[in-house]
Chains A and B, each alone.
Chain A
């Protein structure tokens, strides 16, 4: 990513939204960035890490988002501009620290970017975390498009530093993972000299200790900052208005909904009736600007994704200034003009707006739409999500499913966050029965494992990946061990944060920038905690199943840990280097006459194994096959055969 650090003002570059954010930080003189991988935020730190040495940055994948915030804050305290980036969940993980950081304040500019996922494309929640800004009394910016994102980030740094307050910046999937053309600005070459001053009076923002107490005084200071910010936001260049001077209907939008609202008005050719106030600073609100635009229209349509955050704020504002602004009719999420859940897009907004304006919106001729819907229904089988060919998780869950079934005590798996979350689907034999936050599987498992005194005899398993282990799994495990919970924890160690693109974690011997790092040994940690630990290769199905059954345990047996170690099939060490050449011996495969009822394709469900409808036999797709050889162990006829391959070192 050469363009990310190209000092060539005026040049245009095609950037991913997350790269535009990174570039904005670089143009603001960033020194330290920390993050925990999570879609859709990962590429922010990923791209910064790539240029870290050239740009004289320190970047890290922190153990979790709270620590990422802390690492970034330390830099700010020492006078270095810093960025913490995370997906929406991360803001919740780190909110305890943030609560106190709001009170202590910061020194050099510190920006916290949280990228949310309306529509839950790669999340198991649809959090709208904007209320944290009100709750913690911190300023909030919302990014709307790739082009302006870079500018907003630069301004966020300036404002953070000017007001000595951390600034929250909200992105969403459709911005972080969209690309657009960005005009490069100058790249500063800041002289950095990190010093943490702490010799001054406690209330001295530059020289005192960075502490949230005395709380009442620190809160008063914080509220003074907010008042100043309110004034500053009146002039904020990226709070924009489009449309006629006195529209009948005013659309107020933030985040990518700005784009949807803009294009909806355009598609309805309704610029004569409607105006659009596009806000970047949604907390605190720029009151003068609002007053100026709210006076004329009788109707206010708030366009936003998530909860009715902006809508509630505007309603309160109009009520407060009722005398000056008069009666308004509000449209938005609360009374159902916009759906309460899911993502917005141009069509959803255009349809809602058309309804409000008495227009009609028919983007596709009805006949075409019904013809297309019918053809899709008849001829387009859905693509279900599956573990990749050669994925260790398929093998692990195959054994887990078998062991749970054989044990027969109604056992289940408390799931966690990673690719292995797919084990709630047929791809992973549907063994996962609880799924919540990072590390929660083991916390829940710890709780289930203490219900024995109430007659609970179901075997409780929890699973977590290697990265999740460090993130928040560890405290849950310690809790379970300490309290002698009856829990079998299966650590699916695929040696990287595979789901988000192989970012390193503390278990690995290299860091975000590819430099050497201390590898923290998972097995050693578990042993030190006092758990019984076994390690196995999930590709050895029989051995894994034997271990699992043996470890299923009895009441009062305490915590057992099984570490299933096998690198991800897409990892650099395995990709393109199958261990075996795998093929179905047609003479041995009995096909439909076997009585196995297509076990390999129907149950095991590896994308590289397919059922040849004509031959009525199983086949291996040699383009897709990753050569793990696991399927050779499951064929009751022994028809799937593997031949070991030798790779030159």
Chain B
């Protein structure tokens, strides 16, 4: 059965985040507190890296169940988007990521005080990458870059849980049709199944947020539909978790999110150990 390989230290897998850093990402996205798309995306990446680190934390520290690359594309070039000690590196073992954020911010946050009121507190927020927005959108090139990383990884780890490539973008590629390299990267496979390509679309085109749809009917524009079309279907156990979390799923459900939270993808990953889970 595909997508059932163990994720462990002796059988790690890899995660490649592709981050759109083009000029259009500086546009603000609507909402209560308007934020640039670039800021939304870098926050998402920083949260994903935190979630992965927490998920793989054990007594002795964070285990290298994953090797993770954060690849930025914009300003007509493609490359590592890590800041700080990891700058310039592609796939990095998770334990090193956990130890080396570029900085740790104190963010203030209003939380319920349990008695009906709100109280302001601060929480720490590790930051690995900062928002950048500049130049064009070489998405095609970025997917090809990921292709190289993943291909090399697979030749060294042929039986791993299939690598996951997560592309975060506002959807407007300007170096050709991204559908072709997207199909190519999904034709790569480990013994456990083809590579998974997921997309997070941040957009100011409006419309309601969409999480893990199974059809492109409700999507607001052509970019969203293209990104939906090039996203992999969720493997069955991820679908089951999505259903548990209250999402409506079918066999056609894809790893695509429109203006919504993608961190739940991390929750859907089974680290190590379980034969399978029951509902």
A and B: bona fide binding partners: no
